[in-house]
Amino acid sequence: MNKSLSILFVEDSESDSALVLRHIERAGYELRSLRVDDIPGLEAGLREHEWDVILCDNNLPQLNATIALERLLRFGRDVPFIIVSNAIGDEAAVALLKAGAHDYVLKGNLTRLISVIEREIEDANNRKQAKLQDEKIRTLSNHLMQLAETERAEIARELHDSVGQSLVLLKLNLIKFLQHNELRDAANEALLIDPVNSLLDELRGISRRLTPSHMKKVGMQLAIEDMLSTAAEMSGVRLTADIAALEGFFPENWSIQCFRIVQEAVTNALKHSGADEIRVSARKTDGNLELCVSDNGKGIASAGDRQGIGLALMQERVASLRGQLHLENSTAGLTVRLLIPAQDMLDEGG
Give the tens place of pLDDT for each residue, 295-317: 999 887 654 555 566 777 788 88
If pLDDT is split at 50, 70 and 90, which confidence band does 145 have? Answer: low
Please answer whether residues 327 and 334 qualify as being in contact, where contact means their C-beta atoms are separated by less than 8 angstroms.
Answer: yes
104-137 b/e (C-beta count within 10 Å ≥ 16 → b): bbebeebeebbebbbebbeebeeeeeeeeeeeee
Give the tens place of pLDDT for each residue, 200-224: 888 777 776 666 666 666 778 888 8
Instruction: Specify the pTM.
Output: 0.54
Centre a 10 Å sphere on the Cβ of residue 241 and count the other Cβ atoms it contains.
Answer: 20
In Å, the largest CA–CA distance within the chain is: 109
| Residues 6 or more apart in contact with residue 73 via CB below 8 angstroms | 100
Burial (CB count within 10 angstroms: exposed 0-12, middle 13-18, buried 19+), residue 157: middle
Using alpha carbons, select from 181, 271, 174, 255 the residue that is nearest to residue 214. 255
Q: Is the pLDDT of residue 190 over 60?
A: yes
Using only C-alpha atoms, what is the Rg of the chain? 30
Please answer whether residues 267 and 245 qualify as being in contact, where contact means their C-beta atoms are separated by less than 8 angstroms.
Answer: no
pLDDT of residue 209: 67
State how far the Cα of 312 lies from the Cα of 314, in Å rounded to an integer: 5
